[in-house]
Homo-oligomer: A and B are copies of this chain.
Amino acid sequence: MVTPTEEKLDTKEIDAGSLSSSRRQPENAPPYVHKVGVLPRQNLLAEFKSTVKETFFADDPLRSFKDQTKSKMFVLGVRAVFPILDWGRSYNLKKFRGDIIAGLTIASLCIPQDIGYAKLANLEPQYGLFSFCSSSYLADSSFVPPLIYAIMGSSRDIAIGPVAVVSLLLGTLLQNEIDSTKNPTDYRRLAFTATFFAGITQFSLGFLRLGFLIDFLSHAAIVGFMGGAAITIALQQLKGFLGIKKFTKKSDIISVMQSVIHSAHHGWNWQTILIGASFLSFLLFAKYIGKKNKKLFWVPAIAPLVSVVLSTFFVYITRADKQGVQIVKHIEKGINPSSVNQIFFSGEYLLKGFRIGVVAGMIALTEAVAIGRTFASMKDYQIDGNKEMVALGTMNVIGSMTSCYVATGSFSRSAVNYMAGCQTAVSNIIMSIVVLLTLLFITPLFKYTPNAILAAIIIAAVLGLIDYEAALLIWKIDKFDFIACMGAFFGVVFISVEIGLLIAVSISFAKILLQVTRPRTAILGKVPRTVVYRNIQQYPEATKVPGVLIVRVDSAIYFSNSNYVKERILRWLLDEEERIEASGKQRVQFLIVEMSPVTDIDTSGIHAFEELHRSLKKRDIQLIMANPGPVVMEKLHASDLANLIGEDNIFLTVADAVASCSPKLVEEV
């Protein structure tokens, strides 16, 4: 299944018969034909070990553990689990300066956003509008999780905290189970349960090195899903933006527009709209400046906090709340207590919490891993995806026990972090501390902050998630990917977040199924003035060889496609025979199957070839194989198919095969 271990590269014994380099060709001998190489059978245990290694340890995480003493390996192990021990040792003042600036910048971005994101997860003011966590817990998910991450995580640039899409997803899924207005206590408890299981899921995937499962959600589907979620979130902000009191709890665009239009009768609060619209324009303008001039990246970073301060001051001065402008009103000071006792460890909500946790956890993982990889690639360092998942999982498990909900990496904040010159995860620690201080001392000031501002901040934030440039590129490159993208997008916008996600996953899987079950095949012809044979559709100047049909199968032949491959080859033959009949040329006497892309073949595939051989024999056509890989050769010999076809009908290249056929072609009248 995988190439044998590297140690064998230099010391392999081979079949004496396949070595012909020492054979000297006499002057007038037939052209040199190199025999097809046959690997000696690999030890089953070695093959199993190398398969496991390639599947689960593909990035060779234990590379540095080679040839070390036991105590050293233990130390290396501890340092692997807690990377802070690694980079902490080389920490210096210069790095600290970079991290402080970055930390302050993202904290200023983070505080207003967190206030808003907790609203997305459906809590009413008297239960702590601003945080999920309870009446007195302000933006707590930006406090504990980043600290945990800084100790265990490997990405230097990621900024941890609650993010829009995950908050929306969590809020929607929880709302389906429990109404947050009617039963807020249980709602909160279910949220902690979901966070706990999200963390467990993430930890398990990383620990069992199943991280590759995340890769199954295609990039195109994620682009569509994020874009749809962004539109949904922006629409939900219309409640705060327009000052509407009665608003739908559903998330699809039809329900939202109905709420908006319906409330138009009661009149929208013009003061709210004025405040919201003016600050929204300010924020969008700040973003624009930041994009145009990379040096001014800090402008859109501090703009939200500035808006909050200015608008709070303005409302305080004008007492606009007396004129219908809704404000935050009340937030208690203080940090949150332990919430271990609030998690459902039994009862009907346990299963619901588990299900929601798994979904939210995996989406959160997808985001965080994508961010981690992107920045690691830009700064050219390596991160171990599975290790990251363990760190994120631990973070969420501990978070669930300290009144936090699902936190993950935020792309926009990580980008700001990066631009602000962060050096290590200490920027997250700085951000935590700033948030903590805010929690303890500055919260009363948020009393007069109008909801409209929070809405405007969120709208400005999520508009960045709508990556139309990526969608355009997807359209240009791969139409199927584009369908996945649009399917996810419209699913989220018009139906619901869960359905959109389901569509995204289904289309991703359908694409894999299609690739697996309908591999490509191609007819080959000889490219003039070379000795290579290529697809005649890509090289129309390539000429077919009379009397010989050359087919290339472009995939491993497994049970999922063996029958199709056999039938497709026979259909190519039928087409060719029809064409020949029409033109009166020589009939096909040899069918060469070019096997180089066939990386593996299983019993169904062997079976299919036996049936093909039998079919062809009935029509007096000889089956020939060209260029089978090592694994296929091994299986051809194990199954006796090599004998059935004939060892002298298996060649190294198509050219060799054709050269051996040509003399044997029988002229027919």
Contact = CB atoms under 8 A, between A and B. Distances in A.
Interface of A: 1-4, 6, 8-9, 12, 14, 19, 21, 32, 34, 37-39, 44, 47-48, 54-55, 58-60, 212, 215-220, 373, 377, 380, 470, 473-474, 476-481, 508, 511-512, 514-522, 527-532, 534-541, 554-556, 558-564, 567-568, 571, 575, 596-597, 599-600, 602-604, 606-607, 611, 614-615, 618, 629-630, 633, 635, 638-639, 652-653
Given A516-B512, A538-B630, A630-B537, A480 B564 contact: no
Nearest to A2: B520
Contacts of A639: 473, 476-477
Given A215-B560, A516-B516, A481 B602 contact: yes
A656 B503 CA distance: 45
A63 B529 CA distance: 37
Contacts of A538: 37-39, 629-630, 633
Contacts of A54: 518
Nearest to A56: B518
A532 B656 CA distance: 11
Given A1-B480, A515-B516, A380 B219 contact: no
A454 to B, nearest CB: 35
Contact of A535 (B554, B561, B604, B630): B630
A32 to B, nearest CB: 5
Given A34-B529, A599-B519, A614 B536 contact: no
7 contacts: A9-B536, A21-B528, A34-B530, A54-B518, A215-B517, A476-B639, A511-B558
Contact of A602 (B19, B218, B522, B562): B218
How many copies of the shown chain assemble into the complex? Answer: 2
A529 B39 contact: no
B653 A515 contact: no
Given A373-B563, A535-B629, A212 B37 contact: no
Contacts of A21: 528-529, 541
B34 A567 contact: no
B564 A219 contact: no
Contacts of A8: 537
Contacts of A537: 3-4, 8-9, 12, 39, 630
Nearest to A6: B575
B518 A55 contact: yes
B37 A215 contact: no
Contacts of A596: 596-597
A411 to B, nearest CB: 15
Given A1-B514, A571-B60, A215 B638 contact: no
A14 B611 CA distance: 38
B603 A474 contact: yes
A333 to B, nearest CB: 45
Contacts of A635: 477-478
A528 B20 CA distance: 9
Given A37-B539, A597-B597, A618-B380, A515 B556 contact: yes
A575 B7 CA distance: 11
A481 B603 contact: yes
A470 to B, nearest CB: 8
A476 B514 CA distance: 29
A599 B563 contact: no
Contacts of A561: 215
Contacts of A611: 377
Nearest to A13: B540
Contacts of A212: 517-518, 564
B614 A514 contact: no
A119 B610 CA distance: 39
A652 B528 CA distance: 12
A575 B59 CA distance: 12
Nearest to A540: B12
Nearest to A653: B532
A565 B626 CA distance: 26
B564 A215 contact: yes
Contact of A216 (B1, B560, B600): B560
Contact of A571 (B59, B479, B541): B59
Nearest to A511: B558
A463 B9 CA distance: 47
A635 B618 CA distance: 42
A558 B518 contact: no
**9 nearest A-B residue pairs (beta carbon):** A538-B630, A597-B597, A218-B559, A554-B599, A37-B538, A37-B539, A478-B602, A476-B638, A219-B604
A564 B478 contact: no
Contacts of A39: 537-538
A514 to B, nearest CB: 7
Contacts of A597: 554, 596-597, 599
B600 A219 contact: no
A47 B215 CA distance: 27
A618 B381 CA distance: 12
